[in-house]
Structure 1
Amino acid sequence: MNVKKLLTITILSLVLTSACSNGSKTQMSDKKETIQVSTEKTELAKYDKLVKEKNNELKLEPLELTNYKDKIGATLTNPKYKKFAVNKELTISGVIEKENQLKERYAWVKVSSLDIIDSNSVQDYYIPIENGTFKEDIHFYNGKGNYFIRVMLPATDRNNYYYDLATFEVINVHPEKQRDVTYTPYAQDANLVLKNVDSGLIEASEHLNLQGKVKNLEKTTTIMIEVKKDMENWKHEIPVKNGQFSYDVPLFYGKGLHQINVLVPDKMKDNRYQYGTTLFVNNRSNKQMTPIEFYRTYDERGIQLETPRFGNDVTKLTYQIKGKIDPDANLAKETTHIYIKTKKDQDEALDIIPVKNFTFDGSIYLRFGPGEYEVSVNVPEIREKNTNYFRYFSVASFSVTNHDQNDQRDLLPSRGIPSKHSKIIKLAKEITKDSKNDREKAKAIYDFTSKNISYDVQKFKNNEFEWDDNALKTLRLKTGVCQDYAYLAGALLRASNIEARVISGKAGTGLLKNNHAWIEAKVNGKWLTMDPTWGAGYVQNDQFVAKYNEQYFDPNEQEFRKTHIRENIEY
């Protein structure tokens, strides 16, 4: 009994101690908040006192308005003096008796720092005039110092023209820099609002995530972003979906202040934008980036590239390409894939990334070793009839630097050759299990491809080539044309760690030769030729006759050239 009582008392003691501890933390938190509020009040009182002292020194003189006040019956209800001091904030307000005569609906206030004169030393406010009044609280982007303020009102005789109502000087005694987010009449007419930005001066690193909404778009579903620093300038259209937009704006030009302009469509003119609002972003990163170049087809086909956001990126061997397609864009439903073209010096490769549910996300190999690559993102031509070639149109291009030191162009997977796929690897091991060296492995792969794949005469005659033709598809169908034989043999060779490349050219026994593809494999340090298509048999009376022969495995080169014309290596 005594033990049970002792245990009960101990548990109660712990609970009470815990409750006491929590209450203590709450009291400390309340005390901190009280101290913080008290400190803020003390600071405020200090600067309010400075304002009074400064205004007493200035001997305040009444503000004089221009003659334009009489024409429209305008008065400024605040401020009332030519030169005066404030603490951090100033309210500008006024009344206009003849509002209905004005050509515009905004009062224009221009604030200029008198202490720092540069491209960022002016801020414009456009204050809506409603029921004959206007009012706005403004702050001071350069903190403590002197500012010249100009208040202008719309003309009665012409559009987009303003007359001075008053000018005055303000001395801000508070050191805090506060740049307001302001919107032009174009932005306010479009109901542009930045959702995740509450200051016009922002700290960021490498990019700024910009989110917002815009409602009144009539002729377009895009807005424009402009990035400026010194003499550098970049513009890009971004999509607006259901009145919302979101975009990671790259801060291309390294450390320092970037000017970000958000532009809205001009309602009166097609393909023209007007400035909506301006932000200044202090980039903490030293990283220099190159803008991506976008082409007209980018917007026409509704492409939205999410990765990358900038060029001049650095990677090792692989690089991700990610994005989506606007379902309402022209040919969006028909766009089942995109092409990625990479070029380094004279070497080129073409990769394919499928599009599923209007999104694409894939990685490409930078197969030609270390160095700078030019990369282009392309959309396919949508064809009404079959052809034996593919056309595509560039939507964006950029550069990427590969730091991988190995040139693996003939070992890595490539278009049509998924040599790292588990099915290909497993099959390659089975085919070559009894082979003693690379030459025997290559011969075993040649034999398997020639003996197990039939030639598809109909595909050749009807140009039934598809963007997703590849080694796995050939295995599944057990039939194909020359490129399909080459894809399968190439995939099995690379899966067996034998360098292999697809050769394109012409072939035939007479003067007239057709497009053709075959394989070159590197065995014992030398390239040997194999043509598993010609090794599989021949076509007679539009029918494939299966008749294996090994003549086209490592053939005599002089004899081979009589029927085959080598043109290019395909990646």
Structure 2
Amino acid sequence: MDLGFLPMGELMDLEKRTRMIVAVALAVLMALITGCGLLSPFQTDAKPKMSKWDRMAREKNESMDLKKLKLEPYAEKVGGELTSPEYEKFASNTRVRVAGSAEDYRDFRAKVAWIEVEKIDGPDSSDEDRFSYYAPLKQGKFDQTIRLFAGKGEYRVTVRLPSTKEKDRFYDLAQFEVTNVNPNWKRDISRTRIGREMDVKISRPVSGLTEAKGAFQLKGSLGKQPNHKVMIRLEKDGEQWEHLISTKNGRFSAQIPLFYGKGIHKLTVLVPDTDRENYFNEAASLWVKNRSEEKRNPIEYFKHYEKRGVKLEQPLSGGGSGNMKYRIKGRIDPDAPFAEETENLIVQTKKDGEEATYFIPVENYRFDDTFWLRFGPGEYEVTVNVPEITDERRDYFRFFGVARFTVRNTAEKDLRNLLPSRGIQSDSDQIEKLARKLTRGKEGEREKALAIYQYVAKNVRYDVQKFKNDTFEYDDSALKTLREKEGVCQDYSFLTIALLRSIGIETRFVEGYADGNRHAWVEVKVGGQWLTMDPTWGAGYIDENDRFIRKYSTKYFDPDPAEFQKTHRRTGVMY
């Protein structure tokens, strides 16, 4: 193996490096033996590097005439002292340690020291220029690091100890002024005395001043009375929104929308008063800077929202927009009453006096679906409902409102008679495939409508028992009728309308009466004119023994209006 040779210059460099390594190794060994630390070769001082704000505070303090802090008369009465800070006026970088004690603490009527921080050259708003800390008193001692919350400027700090005679009364122990040299705003989460007593903790956000865009996640816990609801209050520029949040195992969580546009929103968490029913006390507060300029409307919640355990995740506020349809997403608390039996939510939309209803399926206690904005452009009022859970048989459905909000449709078209609707799955591949098969080779809308009328009337059997027993179900629909080939007037109409709409023919569900009974039939737009058809009556009749007799007839496809009105009375259209 050829070892080669180093030139003399490089050999000398190698020797120097070797000596340096040996020297460092010996120094390390000596440090381990003697317990001494090592200085970095790039440091001139063993202390951590000081930030520019710390340097500025130190330099300002060096230029000031620092005077010893004087205590207030109450200090002598309770044997109080302040060990930190030492001066009545000084400078700091954002934080200040406040520590002290009282010898005669056993008679105190509260277990905290009250430290109030006031920005004396800052904004005029009472929400922004004061901040309170309630430092626990342990064996008469307290130790609290406070934050100079509103950036650069002058602050007054007042330290107070509890009264020995009166509850909820405090007396000044000391007062000092401090100049914050750091311009950055940093806040702690504020907790009131009640919030501390109830052990209210906010785990998210982690700071008392945070930023978000449009919404933020709030998480926290309630140590005492863990099963009680908490109230949240959102405020900005005189506007205010309040909402109740349920706790589970003492924890609460909610996505909070920032309704009022760009700027600072104040959020306050309130807890139930232990002595007064339906009364809440402020427990904690924080501030959120919204980067979004968009303003939204609060959602209106009803009592069944909490009672039935509904939690909307989308939308979080009203005033949103959609292009012909809008998404709704959320969950139902599995422990809430009737949670397992709640298989659908009912969404109702209203615009210019017109209403439409949609069923939103719930699976594994979650829902995520869309509903249509079928009445053209403009603002819609949307109500979300839960069904009444009952064993009673009825020919109608009863439900309870849980939330209401507004949404704007940006689409220009009015597709009320073409879009899918409750029970009418005209967007189903199975429905469309059948419709195209039935109308293959047919010329014009009239022939296509007749072909579909004929199929439904000939293939669906009238369910006499369903009619007599009022056994209507939430899943009654076109697809169910197609599968079971049986139903009553609404089911004949559901299937007929779904087939026609699936191939782009405008059709509507007509409500009314026939021979004194509630009835439903169909109107279809053919050649720009509305044509009436009743596939139920075209399928046959019920004899004197309450048996359905099949007897297909075209008599009820585009019947003479005068003759039709002798047996049928139209009351309106259902969307």
Q: Which residue of 2 aligns with 1:53?
A: 62
Deviation at 1:279, TM superposition (A): 1.4
Paired position in structure 2 for 1:203: 211
Stretches of structure 1 that go unaligned for 5 or more consecutive residues are 1-30
Other-structure match for 1:162: 170
Q: How does 1:512-523 map to 2 (within 5 A)?
A: 513-523=516-526
Is contact 1:66–1:166 with CA below 8 Å preserved after alignment? Answer: no
Q: CA-to-partner distance for each residue in 1:175-228, whole Å, 9 max, x for gaps?
A: 3332122322232233333223332222221112223333333442x3222111
Distance 2:295 2:465 in 1: 54
Q: Is the 8 A contact 2:297 2:317 kept in 1?
A: yes
Deviation at 1:70, TM superposition (A): 4.4
Indicate yes or no: 2:561 matched with 1:557. yes
**In the alignment, which residue of structure 1 is the partner of 2:305?**
298
Give the AA of the match of 1:90: V
Structure 1: how far apart are the matches of 2:138 and 2:251?
27
Secondary structure, aligned partner of 1:333:
coil
What pairs with 1:255-270 in structure 2 (closer than 5 Å)? 255-270=262-277
2-structure distance, mates of 1:207, 1:219: 26
Question: Structure 1 residues 72 and 463 mapped into 2: Cα distance closer, same or farther (>3 Å)?
Answer: farther
Distance 2:252 2:322 in 1: 29
Secondary structure of 1:217's partner?
A: coil
Q: Residue in 2 aligned with 1:41?
A: 50
Instruction: State the match for 1:5 in structure 2.
Output: none
SS in 2 for 1:41: coil
2:87 to 81, 94, 108: 81
Residue 99 of structure 1 aligns with which residue? 105
Q: 473, 484, 489: which is aligned to 1:477?
A: 484
Candidates 311, 327, 332, aligned match of 2:334 = 327
Aligned match of 2:357 = 350
Which residue number in structure 1 is paired with residue 570 of structure 2? 566
User: Does the Cα contact within 8 Å between 1:54 and 1:85 map onto a contact in 2?
Assistant: no
| Range that drifts further, 73-82 or 143-152 | 73-82
Scaled by the length of structure 1, the TM-score of the pair is 0.89
Provide the residue aligned with 2:134 in structure 1: 126
**1:525 aligns to what?**
528
Q: Does 1:236 align with 2:243?
A: yes
Moved more, 333-342 or 257-266: 257-266
Q: In 2 relative to 1, CA 397–491 (structure 1 residues): closer, same or farther, beyond 3 Å? A: same
Preserved CA contact (<8 Å) 1:321 1:363: yes
Shift of 1:434: 3.2
Deviation at 1:99, TM superposition (A): 3.0
Residue identity matched to 2:571: E
Amino acid corresponding to residue 266 of structure 2 in structure 1: Q
Counterpart position of 2:396: 389
**SS in structure 1 at match of 2:495:** helix
Which AA in structure 2 matches 1:430? K
Q: Partners of 1:122 and 1:490 in 2: how far apart?
A: 65
Instruction: Kindly state the Cα deviation for residue 336 of structure 1 after the two structures are TM-superposed.
Output: 1.7
> Is 377-386 or 183-192 further displaced after alignment?
183-192
The change in CA–CA distance for 1:42 and 1:522 in structure 2 (over 3 A counts) is: closer
- Deviation, structure 1 residue 449: 0.7
Distance in 1 between the 2:345 and 2:417 partners? Answer: 23
Q: 1:55 is matched by which residue type in structure 2?
A: M
Is 1:192 the counterpart of 2:200? The answer is yes
Q: Distance in 2 between matches of 1:553 and 1:339?
A: 33
Query: 2:433: which partner in 1?
Result: 426
Q: 2:157 aligns with which of 131, 149, 167?
A: 149
How far 1:171 moved relative to its partner?
2.2
Question: Who is 1:441 aligned against?
Answer: 448
Spell out the pairing of 1:490-509 with structure 2 (5 A cutoff): 490-508=497-515
Which stretch of the first structure deviates more once superposed, 207-216 or 319-328? 207-216
Q: In the alignment, which residue of structure 2 is the partner of 1:17?
A: none
Instruction: Tell me which residue corresponds to 1:542.
Output: 546
Matched AA of 1:122: R
Query: Amino acid of the residue matched to residue 554 of structure 2?
Result: E
Query: Residue 31 of structure 2 corresponds to which residue in structure 1?
Result: none
Query: 1:268-306 CA distances to partner (integer Å, 9 max, x unpaired)?
Result: 444332222221222121111111111111111111111
8 Å CA contact 2:71, 2:81 repeated in 1: no
Give the structure 1 partner of residue 187 of structure 2: 179
> Greater CA deviation, 254-263 or 414-423?
254-263
Q: Within 2, Cα distance between the matches of 1:176 and 1:51?
A: 18
Structure 2 SS opposite 1:291: coil
Q: Is the contact between residue 54 and residue 92 of structure 2 (CA under 8 Å) also seen in structure 1?
A: no
CA RMSD of aligned residues (A): 2.2
Larger radius of gyration: 2
| Residues in 1 aligned to 2:381 and 2:63: alpha-carbon distance in whole angstroms | 62
Please state whether the residue corresponding to 1:502 is helix, strand or coil.
Answer: strand
Structure 2: how far apart are the matches of 1:38 and 1:287?
49
Cα distance, 1:42 vs. partner?
5.0
The two structures have a TM-score, normalised by structure 2, of: 0.88
**Contact 1:126/1:182 (CA < 8 Å) preserved in 2?**
no
Structure 2 CA distance, aligned partners of 1:526 and 1:437? 13
Identity of aligned residues (%): 45
Question: What is the CA-CA distance between 1:88 and the residue it aligns to?
Answer: 2.5
CA 1:45–1:498 in 2, change beyond 3 Å: closer, same or farther?
closer
